[in-house]
Amino acid sequence: MTDPRRLEGRHLLAPPASPDGVVVREPRWGLGDAAGGWLIAYVAATLIGAAVYAAFGYAPDDDVPLWLIALTYPPLWLGFVGVPIWAAATKGNGWVRDFRVAVRWPDVPIGLAIGVAAQLVMVPLISLPILELTGKSSNDLSGPARDLADKAIGPAGAVLFLVIVGICAPLAEELFFRGLVLRSFDRRFGRWPAVVLSALWFGVTHFQPLQLAALVAAGALFAVLVERSGRLGPAVFAHMGFNLTTVVVLLWMT
C-alpha cells in the first residue's frame, strides 16, 4: 500500500498553480540570456546596419538620413525583444507572465506624468553639477539627440523621429531592461540590488558618458515603478513620457 506521506510529498513538489488555474513553473532563464540578448542586439545592429548603409551607398561616418537610420533599429530589437520572448517561451511561462507585461488604465496618465517630470526636473538636477565639473554645456548634453532631431525633415521625418524614439524604443527597452534584466537580477540578488544593477546596465548601454548619471537615475525610477506596481505598464508609459518630452522639445527648437 502506498504511504500517504509519499503522496503528500509528491503533491508539495508539483508546480504551483496561479490564481487563474494555470500551472506556473520556475523559469530557467537568467543573466546569461540577458547578456546574450544584449550581445545579439549590438552585433546585429552593427553588422546589419553597416550592410544597409553600404547597400545605399553610405559609410557609417556619412550624414545618414533618418529613414536609413530607422532601418538599423529592427536588428537591435532582435536582441531586446526577440531574446526575452524566446527565453520566456522556452525556459519559462511566456513573456507576458514572466516579465509582468500588463497595463491598467491609470498607468497611462500617471506614467506619462512621471516621465515628463523626470525629464524636466530630475535630469537637470542631476546633470547641472556634472556639466559644471566637466566644463560642458547643455548643448553637449543634448548633442546626440539633437543630431538625430536635425535629420527629422518635414512632417514625415518628425513622425518617424517620434515613433522611433518616443514609442518603439521605450517598448523594446522596457521589455528587455525592466523585464528580462530586472527579473534576472531580482531572482539572483533580490529586489533592490536588482533595481540598482539593472539601472546601471541601462545607463551604460546608451554609451553617453555625459548623460550616464541621469540615465541610471531614469533606469532606477522605471525599475521602482515596476517593482512597486508588479507590472510593466507604469514604466513603459513613464519611459515614453521621458523620451517624448525630449522629442517634442527638440522638434520645437529645430
- Residues 6+ positions from 41 with CB-CB distance below 8 Å: 75, 76, 77, 78, 79, 80, 83, 176
Q: Is 27 helix (H, G, I), strand (E, B) or coil?
A: coil
pLDDT in tens, 175-203: 999 999 999 999 999 999 999 999 999 99
Q: What angle do CA 158, 40, 25 make, to 5 degrees?
A: 105
Residue of 21 and 193 predicted with greater confidence: 193
Q: Which residues contact 39 (CB under 8 A, 6 or more apart)?
A: 79
Quote the pLDDT of residue 139: 87
Residue pair 183/192 in contact (Cβ under 8 Å)? The answer is no
DSSP 89-102: HHHSS-HHHHTT--
Residue 7 is predicted with a pLDDT of 41
Residue appearing with cell numbers 526577440:
82
**Statement: residue 69 has pLDDT above 90:** yes
Q: Quick check: 217 and 126 in contact, CB under 8 A?
A: yes
Q: Which of 22-26, 61-65, 139-143, 174-178 has the highest mean pLDDT?
A: 174-178
More confident residue, 121 or 59: 121
pLDDT of residue 138: 87
Judge whether 99 and 37 are in contact, CB under 8 Å: no
The stretch 103-126 carries a mean pLDDT of 97
125-166 per-position pLDDT tens digit: 999 999 999 999 888 888 889 999 999 999 999 999 999 999
What pLDDT shows up at residue 6? 41
Cell numbers for 105, please give them: 488604465
HSE-up (13 A, CA, CB side) for residue 171:
13
CA 33 to chain CA centroid, nearest Å: 15
- Cell of residue 58, nine digits: 553610405
Q: How confident is the model at residue 4 (pLDDT cuts 50, 70, 90)?
A: very low
Question: pLDDT digit string (tens) for 31-47?
Answer: 999 999 999 999 999 99
